Structure 1
């Protein structure tokens, strides 16, 4: 048990976000993606609502997603604020990835569980994916910029009115993955009451 605990601690502390622009285009086997998704499915969630929904883009689906993102950015952005490099990045980040998992939250029909708890459950699910990817030495990056919170993206993804898109999990391999990070001491962030 001690060895497992040490391995888990190592995975948690060594996991890093690597931006998709650093990915090398090498493909991840689909069976590994399914293992990542299966571990996502075991996240804690209030009332067992299991609100996470994932849209996986791979192969030609990546081009479809890249084109949609870039086209929508161009359509929604006023000409005086349009940044060609941002438009290019919206395409290239997707196309450098092996797989892009679009992170969605399906709102409980009865709305008995507060929405924030559903969002938190999805976040736990994404952490499970990021840790599983790290265990397989796969780079990941949870991005939520660009067009993430638009109604147009919800429509593209086929989400219901009260569902939400919470970003993209880009997955890939990198020749130069991010390896360094730091945290302030946990004691600076904790109040302990006896």
Structure 2
């Protein structure tokens, strides 16, 4: 952060939170429950994401506690439905059943489509992604890890209907949320200066 010592302290805190955000894979979470008020704070932050035309396309469904059992069953069913018979593996089916117990909270990332015909779908995807980023940053500030899961079983139309999303509305995956079981991982990015062109004056 030495490059930014001259900017206001509040801005430096925001930047440091952004730099410290990490994707924590599902095998690295503690079983400890996440406080309800923490989840509500994350969802409040999501609700302030930029949204063209004020469509606010994000729709979330939160699974925790015993509710994860039905979610795991749906993941497994979606894996079976979305896998050709010759590629189906019982071990992978069972992994879908059990994976939900590895993370205390799963948030379905839904997107409403077509609420304003003037808004292209890619902008709605961008709005949901911005909402998810807001959640991840607040989660980091609370000491929580997150991971955006986007594999076939978690996006399958069978899973989408389970969380209340009928076509044309879409399921973009699930955000896993929990306390990391390991030390916070180091991040790495290339120098931003190598990715920016300036055209001034």
Q: TM-score, normalised by structure 1?
A: 0.92
The within-5 A match list for 1:1-194 is 2-194=8-200
Is the Cα–Cα contact under 8 Å of residues 106 and 176 in structure 2 kept in the other structure?
A: yes
Aligned counterparts of 2:131 and 2:82: Cα–Cα separation in 1: 31
Aligned counterparts of 1:173 and 1:77: Cα–Cα separation in 2: 32
Is the Cα–Cα contact under 8 Å of residues 101 and 170 in structure 1 kept in the other structure?
A: yes
1:31-74 CA distances to partner (integer Å, 9 max, x unpaired)? 11111101100001101111000011111211110111012213
How many pairs were matched up?
194
* Alpha-carbon shift at residue 159 of structure 1 (Å): 1.2
Is the Cα–Cα contact under 8 Å of residues 75 and 154 in structure 2 kept in the other structure?
A: no
Larger radius of gyration: 2
* Alpha-carbon shift at residue 95 of structure 1 (Å): 1.3
- Structure 1: unaligned runs, 5 residues or longer: none
1:4-43 CA distances to partner (integer Å, 9 max, x unpaired)? 1121111110110001111121100111111110110000
Cα RMSD (Å): 1.7
* Alpha-carbon shift at residue 85 of structure 1 (Å): 4.1
- Structure 2: unaligned runs, 5 residues or longer: 1-6
1:125-166 CA distances to partner (integer Å, 9 max, x unpaired)? 000000000000001000100323322122222213111111
Is the Cα–Cα contact under 8 Å of residues 21 and 92 in structure 1 kept in the other structure?
A: no
Distance 1:3 1:91, change over 3 A: farther
Is the Cα–Cα contact under 8 Å of residues 51 and 122 in structure 1 kept in the other structure?
A: yes
> Where does residue 3 of structure 2 map in the other structure?
none
Q: TM-score, normalised by structure 2?
A: 0.89
Aligned counterparts of 1:78 and 1:40: Cα–Cα separation in 2: 36
Instruction: Name the stretch that deviates more: 64-73 or 147-156.
Output: 147-156
